[in-house]
Structure 1
């Protein structure tokens, strides 16, 4: 990696820098999502629709728990990118060391608490009894690897924060390929069921983390000195205050997903399977716009650290344009061939038919979802993480209210409308917030 370990985004053409940084992240995220899609195919076709429903039933809870940890590492990356943008490597190394301690502590706490209460949580979500055993088996294995997942995400966040999106790309490609191969091995010839699918995920995370750490270790500017590892309460507090709102935002948003999952669970196993397939498709299709947001997080963070306000404005504007161009073909696919997409995971034609309206509704609203990612990451990159956290609360509120109002009359389509109402509401809130922040001269150094 050597000379290409870091990338200064405070100089040069904004659109070119965004695209160059964005493409490797997108490729990596797509590999990760394609793995998830392939994992669903292996589970659905190799084990059955019920097993796919059991795995899909864990998605909102998984985002609640793992999303908290991923949000935390993303928040830690904000401070690191700002320190890199200002050229303060001594501060960066101390922040990195304290971030490692924070990740270790959070990983241990999440693992212990989650394993202790996961049965009660899935019971609270009205998980159908015929799904409970496989749900707990799958999710318990995933939770056992929580600390590994946290460190893997932090390693990739660290590299992206200093402008390197290529090593995380290779790490995710390696992880995705290994994941699919282990999936096929564990599920088919070894007949390990959902436990095998979960174990493959954890082991793939180990490979990714080791690969990233190897390259981080080759960059002297990123390696903390022995004295940097001594716990420093001031730095830990500052990092936590930046990272915690992002983590809480992810978890609060996940609560809204859990509410939707509860309503779907009450509709029966067939709808749970259809919803699992739909969420897998959406996770794949939202990645390009989400990746634009991640690129902007680093771009805005570095330019905020350098005090370059006009470059931030330009970057956000061009990020909006990128999401529009990207989402046009994706929205058309969700509108025109939804059943074809879900048929790769599902077997029953009646279950496949349930996915048509859901994907059509969410496909139309991919555009405001993309703008939501742009403005949320823009605000966070400037170090303002509190209002984006509140946007997560707004998303939950809209999901809860709309799903209660609409599902009695529109059933599964009502769940889709509740989802997109949350996207639109949060986008409007964050767009207004960004405009306010970027007009404040005291928001910039």
Structure 2
């Protein structure tokens, strides 16, 4: 999901001597250390969306409790993309100065503190600031996890990446489904949000021994940043098409994550059932996301996948605009298919670069520009919703964004490489 970081460290988690290897190779990790690292990665992953989807499920209660306007609510749902663009870009700088374990512990502590503090305030600005603190922790962890997988599990990278992606989806789904029942059980929306701070605190524990241990940085080619590469995606049509496709699919994803539960509540569903419907989008998307990379690598062109995903999204949007209550299960199934544009664009980044340097550069450029585009989605949906009092015009905006996404997707569909442009 994020470009490989600009520095690599060797840091066994279990108490064991560090085995020095030639430049470019990873030190051997003891079995016990590997298990601890794996548990740590999975615990971090399950926290990477819970703070976002829990807020989406309880947005109406938060708006009422804090007297948030539609614009302020839109800003709250836009914060994830802003944080991912800004704080994710700072992560390579952090890991050049501190060990990955220390940065990861700091990110999980930020996530824990942000989620715990935001439920203690009645001030909307303080709520947004503490939410931003939590999201900063997520942004840093987003960048660190792929690096840790490559460092500790170089021969099982696909398996471990699949495992932590699954845990990310589980965390997102459970938070969306359980936040409202937790809030009802304790009689406050604050409890429904605070519960996930406890989960984040557990993610700190496996990394503490390594974070407290003195480490040594390995210098070499792996320590170069993506900007050191001669590949400049920003000067190519393919690079911009990839960034626009990444950005527009993320725009719709975060708008859906932030506002879909509210749409279903306005359509007559209870808060709990609206949260379950939101959770259904991510849950149904899991098997599709697992199949998508295989399909993409076997096709000569990505055009059929791009068009199919766009068509299902259009059908879902039209259904939500016309019959959001009666056809809810069908619409969330179609949304789940359409949202698998995310794993598609991740695969496309690798398919459209010849070299490792090209892949890193293309990934960095697509995500940095893409998250800026994505930040507009939840904010504009909130503004339009407040101005019109309904969902048809906000959905119309998402359809226009989907049209841009489709054209960008067709531009990256045919085989070519960023190094050649």
Shorter-normalised TM range: 0.3 to 0.5
Please, what TM-score do these two structures have when normalized by structure 1? 0.46
- TM-score, normalized by length of structure 2? 0.48
